[in-house]
């Protein structure tokens, strides 16, 4: 069975739901000859992809755009996020990048931030770990790898932007986030191409393949084409954003 057929086979006949904006962060460790990526195993009782290995991520919160940051998102990253349809605003593009950092910290305890000597961060809620560590979130090292929309007919639908960042961007670790009752019950750094990645959801594997191709060419760049995976006519299509 092809990857597309697997994705289509999983679809249920739920009423039409408009996909909600979401962001995923793929952390990459390139300190060895073979890059490693961080994956987490989802709890068996969650609704979306139970028991699957996934990259940390989730939906955008309405407050994400109002969080102070250590540095703005790169202009080239903003331009990539603005490509495609439906059109979004620069503030929404910023929200997507910030959401990827927030979700990674919430689900893994790994915080991408930077110390700001002239600022005393007073962040609350999901951002409290940053404040406690004297950090502000830092989206300046993010790259957009792909965009994918969950096919129609699912109980949950997301319009997800997949970002990547180097593991060296991790500035703080929160203990106790991963445990038996958490959304992610296990975290693993695994080499690209290794066995744990074979159990990834079909769409996640598509995105990982795109990242692998990008990593093989050298340093990441905002100039590389960004694929867009979406469904119409009952089939998956892969386009390039802005093409």
> Tell me: the pLDDT tens digits for 194-242?
876 877 888 889 999 999 999 998 889 999 999 999 998 889 999 999 8
Contact partners, residue 216, CB within 8 Å, separation at least 6? none
Q: At what angle do helices 75-82 and 90-108 cross, to 10 degrees?
A: 100
Contact partners, residue 161, CB within 8 Å, separation at least 6? 21, 22, 23, 24, 81, 96, 100, 144, 146, 147
Residue 9 pLDDT exceeds 50? no
d(CA 31, CA 33): 7
Residue 8 banded pLDDT, cuts 50, 70, 90? very low
- Report the pLDDT averaged over residues 7-14: 47
pLDDT at 243: 65
pLDDT at 242: 82
Residue 17 banded pLDDT, cuts 50, 70, 90? confident
d(CA 103, CA 124): 15
Q: Which of 9-13, 29-33, 149-153, 188-192 has the lowest mean pLDDT?
A: 9-13
- Report the pLDDT averaged over residues 58-81: 95
145-179 per-position pLDDT tens digit: 999 998 887 778 899 999 999 999 999 999 999 99
3-state secondary structure of 230: strand
d(CA 20, CA 123): 25
Residue 82 pLDDT exceeds 70? yes
Strands 20-29 and 158-166: parallel
Handedness of CA 47, 52, 55, 56 (dihedral sign): positive
pLDDT at 139: 97
Residue 15 banded pLDDT, cuts 50, 70, 90? low
Residue 7 pLDDT exceeds 50? no
Nearest CA to 231 among 131, 152, 135?
Answer: 152
Quick one: fold of 3-240?
Nucleoside Triphosphate Pyrophosphohydrolase (3.90.79)
pLDDT at 194: 83
């Amino acid at each position: 069975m092809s990857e597309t057929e697997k994705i289509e086979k999983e679809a249920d006949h739920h009423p039409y739901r408009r996909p909600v904006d979401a962001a995923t962060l793929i952390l990459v460790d390139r300190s060895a000859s073979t890059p490693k990526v961080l994956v987490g195993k989802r709890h068996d009782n969650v609704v979306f992809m139970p028991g699957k290995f996934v990259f940390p991520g989730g939906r955008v919160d309405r407050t994400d755009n109002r969080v102070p940051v250590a540095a703005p998102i790169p202009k080239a990253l903003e331009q990539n996020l603005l490509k495609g349809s439906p059109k979004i605003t620069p503030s929404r593009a910023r929200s997507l990048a910030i959401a990827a950092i927030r979700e990674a910290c919430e689900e893994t305890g790994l915080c991408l931030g930077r110390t700001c000597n002239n600022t005393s961060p007073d962040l609350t809620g999901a951002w409290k770990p940053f404040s406690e560590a004297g950090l502000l979130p830092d989206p300046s090292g993010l790259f957009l790898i792909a965009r994918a929309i969950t096919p129609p007919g699912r109980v949950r639908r997301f319009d997800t932007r997949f970002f990547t960042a180097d593991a060296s961007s991790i500035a703080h670790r929160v203990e106790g986030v991963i445990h038996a009752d958490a959304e992610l019950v296990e975290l693993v750094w695994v080499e690209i191409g290794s066995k744990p990645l074979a159990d990834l959801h079909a769409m996640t594997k598509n995105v990982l393949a795109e990242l692998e191709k990008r990593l093989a060419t050298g340093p990441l760049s905002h100039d590389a084409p960004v694929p867009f995976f979406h469904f119409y006519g009952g089939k998956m299509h892969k386009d390039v954003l802005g093409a």
